[in-house]
């Protein structure tokens, strides 16, 4: 069985007082949520908030993740943060390969492969993001692009129990345009098949594959009820405690896979 994971990527949002307010509301909401323990909840705030947010979530069923990490453990890399440093904060997860990192910071598969290995050596759980652009989808290259993002980064030396994949079509991130549940399921099934070739079928069937791209309370049920969608990586909607809690509550109400 795969435990549903709802992860919030705060991106570059929230000052300390704003973050405290958000987490206080989230904790209160989670405490009163029936069946909420069927769902794992993760928040990924910007790096300056990791220490205070570790304190803010202590004792709650909220895990803490980072949005990026350097592949080296230490060194002359001004402005960067390493996996051992993230581990110090209480982080258990790190997002690697978000499309904004790929596009705006020119991170390619070769670099991401090193980052993924640094995270799992941590030993933390990596949420490795894959997804095609609109142009790639429209020219029928989704499988080729996503297949390469997997093949060049996820090899059998990456421990499956520290790996989560997030399928995030680039055209759906922050655009309000979501993949239909069928479009998402199709790619998730393809990803699981590819993982079966890298690992084996039983192992691939245990790896969680999240969907990300404008997930909101009004489209979460359709997406999360698909057989190969094991949770969501939520951007915009995780900044509102009401929306994020609504998505968690929808996930909690669905049958386990
Ligand atoms: C994201 O940043 O990973 C994301 C999916 O953002 P949004 O939900 O805002 O599309």
Q: Give yes or no for a cis peptide into 72 (omega within 30° of 0).
A: no
Which residue has the CA at smallest separation from atom 3 of ligand 1?
A: 235
pLDDT tens by residue, 115-128: 999 999 999 999 99
Q: Is 193 assigned a catalytic role? A: no
- Interval 148-158 mean pLDDT: 98
Place of tokens 């509102």: 240
Q: Is 40 assigned a catalytic role? A: no
Q: Is 9 in the pocket of ligand 1 (CB under 6 A)?
A: yes
CA of 97 to the centre of ligand 1 (A): 13
Instruction: Indicate which atom in ligand 1 lies nearest the CA of residue 212.
Output: 5
- Interval 212-230 mean pLDDT: 97
pLDDT tens by residue, 168-183: 999 999 888 889 999 9
Q: How confident is the model at residue 104 (pLDDT cuts 50, 70, 90)?
A: very high
Phi, psi angle pair for 90, to nearest 5°: 105, 5
**pLDDT > 90? residue 257:** no
**pLDDT > 80? residue 36:** no
CA of 222 to the centre of ligand 1 (A): 17
Q: How confident is the model at residue 35 (pLDDT cuts 50, 70, 90)?
A: confident
**pLDDT > 80? residue 165:** yes
Other Cβ atoms less than 10 A from the Cβ of 110: the count is 9
- Largest Cα separation within the chain, whole Å, is 48
Measured between alpha carbons, how far is 183 from 203 in angstroms, rounded to an integer? 24
CA of 79 to the centre of ligand 1 (A): 24
Place of tokens 């609109």: 134
Task: For residue 69, give the nearest of 123, 112, 108, 9 by alpha carbon.
Answer: 112
Q: Which are the contacts of 88, defined by CB distance < 8 A and separation ≥ 6?
A: none
Measured between alpha carbons, how far is 189 from 125 in angstroms, rounded to an integer? 22
Which residue has the CA at smallest separation from atom 6 of ligand 1?
A: 235
Q: pTM for the whole thing?
A: 0.97
CA of 212 to the centre of ligand 1 (A): 6
**pLDDT > 90? residue 1:** no
Task: State the chain's mean pLDDT as an integer.
Answer: 96
- Interval 143-165 mean pLDDT: 98
Instruction: Indicate which atom in ligand 1 lies nearest the CA of residue 129.
Output: 3
Instruction: Indicate which atom in ligand 1 lies nearest the CA of residue 98.
Output: 3
Measured between alpha carbons, how far is 131 from 103 in angstroms, rounded to an integer? 12
Q: How confident is the model at residue 34 (pLDDT cuts 50, 70, 90)?
A: confident
């Amino acid at each position: 069985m795969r435990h549903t994971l709802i992860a919030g990527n705060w991106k570059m949002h929230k000052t300390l007082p704003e973050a405290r307010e958000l987490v206080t509301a989230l904790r209160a909401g989670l405490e009163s949520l029936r069946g909420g323990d069927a769902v794992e909840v993760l928040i990924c705030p910007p790096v300056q908030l990791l220490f205070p947010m570790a304190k803010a979530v202590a004792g709650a069923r909220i895990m803490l993740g980072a949005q990026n990490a350097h592949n080296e453990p230490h060194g002359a890399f001004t402005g960067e943060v390493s996996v051992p440093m993230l581990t110090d904060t209480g982080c258990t997860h790190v997002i690697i390969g978000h499309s904004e990192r790929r596009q705006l910071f020119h991170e390619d598969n070769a670099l991401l492969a090193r980052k993924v290995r640094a995270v799992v050596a941590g030993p933390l759980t990596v949420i490795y993001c894959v997804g095609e652009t609109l142009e790639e989808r429209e020219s029928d290259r989704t499988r080729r692009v996503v297949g390469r993002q997997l093949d060049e980064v996820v090899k059998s030396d990456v421990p499956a129990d520290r790996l989560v994949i997030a399928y995030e079509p680039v055209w759906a991130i922050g655009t309000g345009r979501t993949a239909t549940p069928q479009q998402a399921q199709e790619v998730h099934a393809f990803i699981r098949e590819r993982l079966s070739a890298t690992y084996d079928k039983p192992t691939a069937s245990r790896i969680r594959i999240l969907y990300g791209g404008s997930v909101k309370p009004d489209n979460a049920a359709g997406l999360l009820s698909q057989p190969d969608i094991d949770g969501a990586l939520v951007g915009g909607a995780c900044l509102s405690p009401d929306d994020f809690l609504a998505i968690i509550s929808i996930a909690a109400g669905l049958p386990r896979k």
